[in-house]
Amino acid sequence: MSDLGHVLVLAGGLSYEREVSLRSGRRVSEVLQAAGVSVETRDTDASLVPSVLADPPDAVFVTLHGGAGEDGAIRSVLELLSVPYVGAGPDACRVAYDKPTAKAVVRSVGLRTPDSVTLPKETFHDLGASAVLARIVERLGLPLFVKPARGGSALGASAVRSAEELPAAMVGCFAYGDTALIERCIEGVEVAVSVVDLGDGPVALPPVEIVPDKGVYDYAARYTAGHTEFFAPARLSPEVADACARMAVTAHTALGLRDISRTDLIVDGAGLPYFLEVNVAPGMTETSLLPMAAEAAGDDLGTLCRVLLEQAAARGA
C-alpha cells in the first residue's frame, strides 16, 4: 500500500479532447488503485475548488488534454489552492503548449525542427489568402503539414501534398484555433519518446514507432484500437534511437518541464530526427504512447504514476 493518503485525478474538462481525457483519467485511476493508492477522479467544474479546499488531496495527477489541462491554467489554480501536482508548472506549460514557441526554444538549443511559418487567421483575411498561401508554398515547398498552433490529438491537422489542398487544410485548421502552424512535412518514421523523472533527472523511455494503417496518424488512428500499429521499442538502429532519446530529454530540459513529458519526432530517410512538438500531459489511454513505452521499459504503469505522485507530494505546493 502507498503512504499517500488520497490523491486526485483530474479528467474531462471542456476542450475538444474531453473524451480522450476521460479515458486517460480512468486508466490512471485504475492503475493507481492496483498500486495501492486511494484515488478520487474529478472533472473540472464549479465544485472542484470548494471540494479541494474542504479535503485537500496529497497530490493531483492531471490527465486533462488540450486547453486548460496543458496551457498552465489548471496548474495555476492548483498552486492557488496550495495543492501539489505531477507535471510541469504553469509557465513551462504555456511555452510548451504553444507549438511555434516550443519550436523556437528547442531550435535555440540546437535541436533540428522542420522549417515553418505561423500565421493567424486575420492575416489571410487582411492580405488575401491566395497570395499568402502561394508564397508559403514557394518558400517552404511541398509537402506541408498544417496544424493549429495550440491543441493536440491531431485535431485540425492535415498533410498537404499539392498547392490545391492547402486552402482546405487551412479551413480545417482554423476550425480548432485562430492561429496556424504550417511546416515543411518531413517524410519518415513517426516516433514518440516519453521522458520521466523519478528523482534522478529526466530519462527517456524506449521510443515508440507509429505506423497508422491509412498513413496518417489522425484522431481516429490515435484512439481507435486496430487503426495503428505500434512498435515498442521502435525499429530504429541503436544510434538513431539514442539520438531520439537525447533529443527528447534535451527538449524536456530546455522547455523547463518536470516529472513527465512526451516528445513527438519524425526520423527522415537519413536517420536524422526532427522535433515536432511536446506534450506536457501525455495520453494514458489503452492506445496511448507513454504506457506502451513504460511497458517496453519493463516498468509497471501504476508504480510509475504512484512514484510521480509521491514525489509531487514530497515536493509540496
Catalytic residues: 17, 153, 223, 262, 264, 277, 279, 283
Cell of 292: 506502451
- Which H, E and C letters describe the chain, residue by residue? CCCCCCEEEECCCCCCCHHHHHHHHHHHHHHHHHCCCCEEEECCCCCHHHHHHHCCCCEEEECCCCHHHCCCHHHHHHHHCCCCECCCCHHHHHHHHCHHHHHHHHHHCCCCCCCEEEEEHHHHHHHCHHHHHHHHHHHHCCCEEEEECCCCCCCCCEEECCHHHHHHHHHHHHCCCCEEEEEECCCEEEEEEEEECCCCCCEECCCEEEEECCCCCCHHHHHCCCCEEEECCCCCCHHHHHHHHHHHHHHHHHCCCCCEEEEEEEEECCCCEEEEEEECCCCCCCCCHHHHHHHHCCCCHHHHHHHHHHHHHHHCC
115 φ/ψ sector (left φ>0, alpha ψ -120 to 50, else beta): beta
How do strand 188-196 and strand 260-268 relate by DSSP bridges?
antiparallel
Among the listed residues 254, 307, 301, the one whose alpha carbon sits nearest the alpha carbon of residue 282: 301
The answer for residues whose C-beta is within 8 angstroms of residue 222's C-beta and 6 or more apart is 153, 154, 228, 283, 287
What is the residue whose three cell numbers read 505531477? 86
